[in-house]
Structure 1
Amino acid sequence: MINILFAARPERWPAYEAPLKTALADAGVSAHISPDIAPQDVDYIVYAPNSDLKDFTPFTRAKAVMNLWAGVEGIVGNETLKIPLTRMVDPGLTQGMVEWVLGHAMRFHLGMDAHIHASPGTWDPVPPPLTWDRRVTVLGLGELGAACATQLAQVGFNVTGWSRSQKDIDGITCLSGANGLTQALERADICVLLLPDTAATTNTLNAQTLAIMPKNACIINPGRGPLIDDDALLQALDSGHIGHAVLDVFRQEPLPKDHPYWTQRNVLVTPHIASETRPKYSALTIAENISRCERGDPLLHVVDRSLGY
């Protein structure tokens, strides 16, 4: 029997206990999983970066750390971590992100706010364009970005994707590199940010790159707060160059009550709810990876620490 340490906030264990035990049993893994196992006896660690565990040195026989979150910026730089680290990729996390992105893209595309907030008696029968005539750019073509780009294309949007390394996705114009980023932003009537949080992606949207985007463009950020230079975005919104922003992630969370985003008329703030790791689905990913490792197969979704994701 293998020992699996659940290293997350204590209040998360009741929600994860049954799904993890069921998924491991269904995967044929004989395991003891608990938040309380002596470090020297641990074979795998199921980990959330906001847990109290910061020093991995005592876990001398552990084979891998399974991150519960899609983002790994809170652990990837930990110098005591010498074993493989995997990030969370599960169907529930992906589906949640696709639904959130598609919903907010369609809200902007259809101009729903004008009707939701219209004064009584307002009658302005101007139809929105078809999705065929609206250009969407997705920055970041990992698991979540590729899934969102594909769904947006399936409903008719003209979709361009950009990533640091070249990708090939059916139905998507895929670009990379500095010149590719410029081209992607030039056609971004709607820009969806799903890049990882690394030194190379900080302030991807800044005064210079925002100026490249079409006038009245919409920015949708369910990725990471540091991807946007907040001061530059506020200036672009005030000037009218950027028409709307939907922001789900921020440098400081919860977003402070006095932050200008709360009162900016063309900004919608959502409280980091675009997608969530759900125990029912994430347990399946964890069980599959542990089962693979025990069989001697390669782990899935291993983090490249030189890239930071």
Structure 2
Amino acid sequence: MTFLYKANTERGAEWARFFAARAPELPFRLWPDVGEPKDVRYLAAWMPPEDVGTAFPNLELIFSVGAGADQFDLSKLPPHIPLIRMMEPGIAESMVEYVTMAVLALHRNLVNYIAQQREQTWHEIRITPAAKRRVGVMGLGMLGQAVLDRLTSFGFPLAGWSRSPRTIDGVDCYAGADALPDFLARTDILICLLPLTDETRGILNQPLFARLPRGASLVNVGRGGHLVEADLLAALSQGMLSAAVLDVAEREPLPADHPFWNHPRILLTPHIASMTSPAAAVDYVLDTITRHHRGEALPGRVDRDRGY
């Protein structure tokens, strides 16, 4: 009975140390050293190997090492094997930190001031009170709710949009396609925390930007596939949007000639908004394995029909 890790090798070495301390009875292997394939019962991966069900005939659980699972082709995973999203607390905390940073940077005109510094321009911009800066979050799962909870303390009017109805104290909640225009019309800083599915791919596009108040700004910490990049560049050029903070891109890393690198209205980071803590991840994985053996419900289990 073996646990196999197939992702960042440096973090994998940390996982190995925590497994040795907390579950010494469970053999732990780092890809590509799989040992005897028939012994592999559990797999943690960012991208699974090809033909995973055939390669590991006795596999019982697959873990995504990230909060999302859209990088998996669900059609190629055996339907009887649960796919588990990473839900250790550190992912939410680091995402909350990043989004708070991004919202405050946009709220306090940091993009403008960075441009002014490059131009050696000393010019103050009048402060907009937080009570007049409306923030909206698309995606009200664990991460979206954690972000909204933290932003409450700053006094922003908050709203959230999701596919199905939610109720969150202090947040105006909108649900479904029919409610999306009203949600967008009241949003000055838009945060995308949606899962990437067939329905949400390309959702950050010109028609959506046109429904935001003119001069609104965007934070995309979902997936690069949510954003139509050409539409963002056009919206920024036309003044439809004033700025964007992007942690994800359609192609990662960005090609050297990509226009995002030097765009004066874009702050860009290399997919680092949230990171799994190896210690907490191992605790989460071992707890999930215990639940699996007991026949209990598994938190983070991906709904194959929804894709998340």
Aligned to 1:112: 110
- Per-residue deviation, 1:18: 1.1
Post-superposition offset of 1:53: 4.9
- CA gap of 1:120–1:57, structure 2 versus 1, over 3 A, is closer
Shift of 1:222: 1.1
Q: Percent identity?
A: 35
Paired position in structure 2 for 1:200:
199
- Relative to structure 2, which stretch is displaced further, 205-214 or 293-302? 293-302
> Counterpart of 2:29 in structure 1: which amino acid?
S
Equivalent residues in 2 for 1:29-178, closer than 5 Å: 30-35=25-30, 36-49=34-47, 52-82=49-79, 83-116=81-114, 117-118=116-117, 122=122, 124=124, 127-178=126-177
Distance 1:258 1:176 in 2: 39
**Cα separation, 2, equivalents of 1:162 and 1:182:** 10
Write out per-residue CA displacement over residues 81-122 of structure 1, whole angstroms, 9 at most, x where no aligned residue.
231110011111111110000001001111234445356683
For the 8 Å contact 2:111–2:266, the answer to whether it is kept is: no
TM-score by length of 1: 0.90
With 135-144 and 254-263 compared, the bigger mean Cα shift is at 254-263
Give me the whole-angstrom Cα distance separating, in 1, the residues matched to 2:141 and 2:20: 29
Residue of structure 2 in register with 1:243 after alignment: 242
> 1:256-288, CA deviations, whole angstroms, 9 ceiling, x for partnerless residues?
121111222111111111112231221121111
Cα distance in 1 for partners of 2:57, 2:142 equals 32
Instruction: Map 1:252-271; keep pairs closer than 5 Å.
Output: 252-271=251-270
Cα distance change, pair 9–188 in 1 and its aligned pair in 2 (3 A): same
Number of aligned positions between the proteins = 302
Matched, 1:276 2:271: no
| Shift in alpha-carbon separation, 1:37–1:97, aligned structure 2, 3 A | same
- From the superposition, tell whether residues 301 and 257 of structure 1 become closer, same or farther in structure 2 (CA, over 3 Å): same
2:188 corresponding residue in structure 1: 189
Letter of the 2:166 counterpart: K
Distance (Å, rounded) in 2 between the aligned partners of 1:47 and 1:212: 38
Contact map agreement 1:48 1:68 (CA 8 A) in 2: yes
Counterpart Cα distance in 2 of 1:161 and 1:213: 14
5+ residue gaps, structure 1: none
Cα offset, 1:9, TM superposition: 4.8
- In the alignment, what sits opposite 1:287? 286
Range with bigger deviation, 13-22 or 148-157: 13-22
Shift in Å, 1:3: 2.5
- Structure 2: which 5+ residue stretches go unaligned? none
Q: Secondary structure at the match of 1:56?
A: helix
Q: Is the CA contact (8 Å cut-off) linking 2:160 and 2:171 kept in structure 1? A: yes
1:219 Cα deviation (Å)? 0.2
TM-score, scaled to structure 2? 0.91
Q: Structure 1 residues 120, 60: closer, same or farther in 2, change over 3 A? A: closer
Alpha-carbon distance in structure 2 between the residues aligned to 1:165 and 1:217? 25
1:19 deviates by 2.3
Alpha-carbon distance in structure 1 between the residues aligned to 2:82 and 2:121: 62
**In the alignment, residue 216 of structure 1 is paired with which amino acid?**
G
**Structure 1 residue 47, shift from structure 2 partner:** 2.2
Q: In 2, distance between residues paired with 1:303 and 1:24?
A: 25
Distance 2:45 2:174 in 1: 34
Q: Closer, same or farther in 2 for the Cα pair 1:80/1:221, shift >3 Å? A: closer
Alignment check: 8 A CA contact 1:216 1:243 kept: yes
Three-state SS of the structure 2 residue aligned to 1:208 is helix
Instruction: Compute the RMSD of aligned alpha carbons.
Output: 2.0
